[in-house]
Amino acid sequence: MKISVIIPCHNAEQTIISSLQSVIHQEYRADEIIVIDDHSKDKSVDLIKASEIDVLLVRASGTGASNARNEGIEAATGDWLAFLDADDIWYPNHLSRAKQFIKTHNIVGYINHYDWVSSNDTIFTKKKCPVNKEVVAQGIDTYLNLYLNYKHFVGMSACIVERKRAETIGGFDPELIRRHDIDFWLRIIHKHGWLFDPQPTSAYRKNTQNSLSSNQPSAALYRYLAFKKNYHLVDSAAYDLLLRQLAMTAVVKGKLSGKAQDQMLVTDLVYNDLCKLEKGLSRVLTRFPKLMKFYKKILKVQFYCLSKFKKPEM
């Protein structure tokens, strides 16, 4: 089993060495480390070179994290691809646990629960893992159930996929500026086996300077677009309801944003997807945003009633 580590890097001088150190200190060593420099203007590249860590440094020809990851896939020689963001870290057992499960199960994707790391390196967990043992699944159905319990558990730094499968689906979608991780994962696991490991072996650094997910209105918009893009893959009332919730959230957050670009994007890309009743509700929630929590509580009841999927054991 040969593992290629892919790290997109854009102006990550504060964290890139910490991320690389977490890779070279793995119990099971990666076969190669590929860093794709996404046009950094800080000292990231100089620090990487000065570290003397054995990496293949690739200058990205395009821009954006999805393009950088695609160029990493093209450069990789391993049969498995382990993704790590330049501001995240792995614990020493990350690759060893992944190898154990990959060898044991017929899967194309492995993903684990992850901790959250603050800017001063204090580790905390924002969300409690919804399961207490690994979940081995086939296709998107079980993922949807986990998502409804956990909201968002696809972190690229927790994700390892079969290279052949990643190439088959065409890699990451560069048109999704954000939340291309969700889109990528949905396409990876569609009609294929995957495993969720509840033990955190990676840590996501929350709200760093260049973090794409720190822009909540934009993240909500692209989360909706990622799920909408893959709507045709799943015939499920629960998926349909989730899509309605994500659309409403994107519209409300976009309209509450002080940025004209956010407001324009949700108007152009989401608002017309709402039915007449939902458009009226979105105006109410925008005017009274505190009502959003009651809207979500109602949806939770609907999710519980509509879900066709067998829930993983808690």
Please choose, from the candidates 166, 259, 158, the residue with its C-alpha nearest in 3D space to the C-alpha of residue 218.
259
Do residues 8 and 85 lie in contact, with contact meaning Cβ atoms separated by under 8 Å?
Answer: yes
3-class DSSP state for residue 248?
helix
For residues 141 and 17, what is the distance between their CA atoms, to the nearest angstrom?
Answer: 38
Do residues 10 and 38 lie in contact, with contact meaning Cβ atoms separated by under 8 Å?
Answer: yes
3-class DSSP state for residue 194?
strand
85-94 pLDDT, tens digit each: 999 999 999 9
H-helix or E-strand spanning residue 166: helix 163-168
For residues 252 and 91, what is the distance between their CA atoms, to the nearest angstrom?
Answer: 37
How many CB atoms lie under 10 A from the CB of residue 244?
17
At residue 192, the pLDDT reads 97
Q: What is the mean pLDDT of the chain?
A: 87
pTM above the 0.75 mark?
yes
72-124 pLDDT, tens digit each: 999 999 999 999 999 999 999 999 999 999 999 999 999 999 888 876 667 76
Amino acid identity at 305: C
**What percentage of the chain carries pLDDT values higher than 90?**
53
At the top level of CATH, which class does the domain 3-209 belong to? alpha beta
Our CA angle for 142, 144, 146, nearest 5°, is 70
At residue 209, the pLDDT reads 54
State the span(s) of the chain assigned CATH 3.90.550.10. Answer: 3-209
Kindly indicate the confidence band of residue 194, based on its pLDDT and cuts at 50, 70 and 90: very high
Residue 217 has pLDDT above 80, yes or no: yes
Q: Please report the DSSP string for 201-228 in residue order.
A: EEEEETT-TT-GGG-HHHHHHHHHHHHH
3-class DSSP state for residue 293?
helix
76 to each of 44, 57, 163, 196, how far by Cα in Å? 21, 12, 9, 24
2 token code pair: 């040969």
